[in-house]
Chain A
């Protein structure tokens, strides 16, 4: 039975249960004349939930277990004896046979998969029927049981509400599950990487060229220091040189000087800078900014300027970060008590003197926190550097030279044609783990700074 048909049938059972239970509850109400805590529709929902939830749970579990059962059954047919023992080829033949049985794929690459395909077909339809039958039976049985429990004065509402509460709790647990998923998958894959490459080689090595990994000493060409430097140089130095002055001065102008009408228009316009997709920035950087930067470098006399310079990527990234810095600065300046500003103005200081000598020093921790968050965002930014930075890892201080970043390398390592187990692919997860840890620390520190500062003036 196909999945939509099955779901449709179960939903139909649920609807029948809802209608029947509601009708039954309505008769209790009429015959006894008493008022109960639950409405007839509550009883209906109670029965419907009992019809749907156990069956759905079973289907979810079945979806994960049945493929293994199907494979086990296929392995018992005589033709399966010819399969090669464990390994990549065996898995390839099996998956090809499965695709053939499902009518996908473009024909058999391996003759054995064609002989196994009917067995797959048979096993699959057999387990499909078993699964469908059990699910329907379960839906009917649990629904009927719930229906029989309904009697006058049965508190269906409290039970539904308990289910609703459980759903709320389950939804909020997904955030934890995601976090755990991120940490576990990164740590697990990185651990496999560090079994091949010593962690010290990775963290302190200064030579990065994953295209040629020597089998004897894989750590020699997987030293990530140039990547860390490139990421820091582009994200924390060049981008911030653009973003901090522009963001800070914009925030100051818009909060302290601009007329309300100007502010009303300029703030959303600046926020649009943050809403432009990063792939658009990356294209802009590669198409327009990078050639301009190279021409500029040639003009000032740098003859070997790269068209994939750190400067081009950093400049565009800085522009992207401007609204971020500006809104953080805006918040922290607004949090400075008006009395401090008024006091300074009353003493005869000009607005700019007040801003520079009173408001900014008072808002400094908030601004610093905002800058840290901006750096965290810049070093995690991917598309701009993928499109505008180079793939060559160099340790350089020259903004016109080419550098690469952690995120760019993750993309390069994982979009090539490599199997899932090589040091090359696993290196991407180690880089991901480093990135995750660094941004996490930056975020925690930044939020801590902002929070402590905010408490000081409340």
Chain B
């Protein structure tokens, strides 16, 4: 090792002094190895802990929402006995069907009769045990079956907020005592609350529902998709397939990448200043919300679209050009269909982000209190995340479970969208090799 084997070649540097080989069996070396292995195990454990704890945060969040929110889907009902013939209702049975029925019944004194029946059945302050909207249920029952008016009947009506919470064992001791007594008499029951999915916002937590917000979200998403998808796909095609390399296209590229990283609240300020201030579009409308979110989602679609288009191999383009297709035909007949699954995946992910977005919509006033679902995209509307935000601000304790229940609905939608994106990616992913 020390001398060159071939004569004449220069020898290496001066030989190192002989060193005894490391004796791995000595106490010192063994201790050192143990120490290094222990450090290795510690490090590995730290990494595992980081992963487990991060996943733990997520699990904790989801479980908290589930525990808080499942109660929101159910409703406590009281069996209210109403003696209709004696309630002094002034109802003309002929008017119980047709468009004027609600109005006629409201004027007939059903609310008073309901409260009186509650007082008769549950004591002097009995009407306080009922939800403010209990009479609406009585009205619906009478409308559905006018024969009720001829005899005394038992109508299940929603219980008040305090009773509802007590029945789910979260209420005050006094309310829980009442609930225990009623349970013994078989007057109280808790069942699934379809009202939560079908009605709109209200000031009374026992009457609220998410349908208004869900419809607003739907309208907003439709506007967002109709604008962001075509614009995003077309600009991705332009940048990837045709754009010459010059200062203009550089500018376009930089602004798209930059827009993808701009805080969402800035888009809200843009929507407020431009769509509401300059163009005078209607405030709080799904149209403006959708436009604002479209500007936010478009860069995501462009970036995903460019990656999908880039992965279509050049041989496809060359083959199409070789048989005489024009550049436009190459792209629209060959490249775009092949890139579409990738673009769709990116679009769904972008839409999922837009669906969960709140801050920009607060800026353009989509936080109005709306008791009716919107019918047009120019109507004042609210969306699901904003509804969650508005309910979270309510002091009334009954809103806690409603907020968490709305969060469960939102998360289910998001999971479904992300699941669809993953499915699309796995189903249509093409490997060009």
Q: CB within 8 Å of B: which residues of A?
A: 64, 67, 157-158, 161, 164-165, 167-169, 171-176, 178-179, 181-182, 185-186, 188-189, 245-250, 252-254, 256-258, 266, 268-270, 272-273, 275-284, 286-288, 319, 322-323, 326, 350-353, 355-356, 373, 376-377, 379-383, 386-387, 407, 410-411, 414-415, 420, 428-429, 432, 435-436, 439-440, 443, 447
Contacts and interface: CB of A to CB of B under 8 A. Distances in A.
B255 interface: yes
A279 B356 contact: yes
Contacts of A415: 362, 367
Contacts of B388: 279-280, 283
B270 A185 contact: yes
A280 B392 CA distance: 10
B237 to A, nearest CB: 6
19 contacts: A161-B326, A168-B235, A171-B230, A171-B235, A178-B270, A245-B50, A252-B47, A270-B58, A275-B414, A277-B358, A279-B356, A280-B388, A283-B392, A283-B403, A283-B404, A287-B392, A287-B400, A319-B57, A322-B54
B61 interface: yes
Contacts of B353: 275
Contacts of A171: 230-232, 234-235, 238
B197 interface: no
B231 A414 contact: no
A250 B54 contact: yes
B63 to A, nearest CB: 11
Contacts of A158: 326
A182 B270 contact: yes
B40 A288 contact: no
Interface string B350-391: 001101111100110001000000000000000001101100
Contact of B263 (A273, A429, A435): A435
A169 B238 contact: yes
Nearest to A350: B40
A308 to B, nearest CB: 13
Most chain B beta-carbon neighbours within 10 Å: one of A188, A373, A382: A382
B265 A176 contact: no
Interface residues of B, number: 87
Given A179-B258, A246-B54, A266-B51, A414 B328 contact: no
A356 B267 CA distance: 41
Interface stretch (B5-13, B149-157, B272-280): B272-280
Given A174-B231, A407-B265, A439-B262, A284 B51 contact: no
Nearest to A373: B261
Given A246-B54, A276-B356, A352-B39, 15 more contacts: A174-B295, A175-B256, A254-B51, A273-B54, A275-B353, A280-B407, A283-B403, A284-B64, A284-B65, A351-B40, A356-B43, A386-B389, A387-B389, A411-B363, A432-B269
B119 interface: no
A164 B57 CA distance: 49
A407 B272 CA distance: 15
B37 interface: yes
Contacts of B322: none
Contact of A179 (B259, B272, B407): B259
Contacts of B58: 269-270, 272-273, 276
A246 B238 contact: no
A439 B261 contact: yes
A268 B50 CA distance: 15
B243 interface: yes
Contact of A175 (B68, B265, B272, B298): B298
Interface in B12-64: 36-37, 39-40, 42-44, 46-51, 53-55, 57-58, 61, 64
